[in-house]
Amino acid sequence: MKVSVVIPVHNKGPYLRACLDSVFAQTFTEFEVIAVDDASTDDSAQILASITDPRFRWLRTERNVGPGGAAQRAMDAAVGEYIMRVDADDVMFPDRFATQVRMLDEDPSLGACSAYVQLMTDPTIIYHVPLDDAACKARLLFGVALNQQVTAYRREVLVRHDIRFGDDWPHYGEDWMQHLALARVTRFKNLDRPLAWYRTGSNNIAHGRDRAKDLRGLYRHVFAHYDIPITEEQLDLQLYTVKCFPRPITADSVGAYRNWLDALARMDQERRIFEPVAFQRQLDKAWYDLLYHLPSNGWGPVLSYLKRGPRLDRQRSYYLIASLFAGRRTKALRS
């Protein structure tokens, strides 16, 4: 068997048939499908039981173990050379499996690959990931290296190195924890185009959660994994790298954030945990992106940012000018 398709399912009834239809409509057809109903309380189990395609089988957990634990049960039952992860509320592009099989066939050094995903409700929004191995691994200090919705694994790598999702892992960010383990033993690669339609809303595992709290917990795990000390104050600054701002941004916090990024750069220069050029690009992007979140916090943070440089490019200059005029117009309308 070439491919095993792994689909964890928890209360995805309204979207499950569309997902399964997109799987069975793939241009590549040499696959088995293993779905795991993770103690759903809706009609997900009935939908799974109605599937008659001979390539399909499903399991059921006795208790809700989360997406990682459910996926792991399917991976344990898989026999394919490659494992394709599919989320039960997303829709695959027809050539997804064919494209990723070709990627893995052509480069035996790859243990995992993914691609971009396109937002179902707004096709102009695309969720990007880094493309090459060095960039993927440099990204791991800040976020995921692969889009889990379209990740493909070389099963032999997972088995040989005993890389598994744990039932005790958090239900949010478990993919990031797995990427950390995988990065130690194999290479990553991502395709620079989407391979699935991604659905957001109340169906997502992250919906309604305290994102800052979740990320603080995950960052503690990530920094411990790399043996990098981090204080609670630095944890709050690290949240800025993924556009999470639990408190209003101030001029002082902008300066502290610049100092934190510089400290990370010095750390990597000394320890060479990440490929230096790829890691510096991550730091530069983190600083670059911060500007777009400053005008709504007042002009004090903006001035603090401008003092720390570098000089603004045309795009960000236009953004600041537009923000200034928008702010003045709002003030005039209120007066």
Tens digit of each residue's pLDDT (9 = 90 or more) over 267-306? 999 999 999 999 999 999 999 999 999 998 988 999 999 9
The residue behind tokens 């898989």 is: 78
- Portion of the chain with pLDDT greater than 90, in percent: 84
What's the pLDDT tens digit per position in 178-187? Answer: 999 999 999 9
- Rounded to the nearest integer, the mean pLDDT of the chain is 93
Whether the predicted pLDDT of 220 surpasses 60: yes
The whole-number pLDDT of residue 264 equals 97
Query: pLDDT band at 331, cuts 50/70/90?
Result: very low
Predicted local distance difference test score (pLDDT) of residue 137 = 98
The pLDDT tens digits for 134-175 are 999 999 999 999 999 999 999 999 999 999 998 888 888 999
Does residue 192 or residue 210 have the better pLDDT? 192
Say how far apart CA 263 and CA 243 lie, in whole Å. Answer: 19
How far, in Å, are 69, 165, 167, 172 from residue 64 at the CA level? 9, 14, 9, 14
205 — pLDDT class (breaks 50, 70, 90): low
Q: What DSSP element (H or E) covers 328?
A: helix 314-334
The pLDDT tens digits of the residues spanning 49-64 come to 999 999 999 999 999 9
Q: Considering only residues 202 and 175, tell me which one the structure prediction assigns the higher pLDDT.
A: 175
Q: How far apart are CA 74 and CA 59, in angstroms?
A: 8
* Alpha-carbon gap, residue 332 to 2, rounded angstroms: 65
Looking at per-residue pLDDT, the higher value among 205 and 11 belongs to 11
| Token digits of residue 134 | 């060095």
Contacts of 309 (CB under 8 A, 6+ apart): none
Predicted confidence (pLDDT) per residue in 261-272, tens digit: 999 999 999 999
Tell me the domains of the chain and their CATH numbers. Answer: 3-198 (3.90.550.10), 211-334 (no CATH)
Given a cut of 50, is residue 329 above it in pLDDT? no
Note the helical H segments in the chain.
Answer: 13-24, 44-49, 66-77, 96-106, 133-139, 155-160, 174-183, 211-225, 232-239, 251-271, 276-290, 299-308, 314-334
Residue % of the chain over a pLDDT of 70: 95
Q: Where residue 327 falls among pLDDT bands split at 50, 70, 90? A: low
pLDDT at position 332: 36
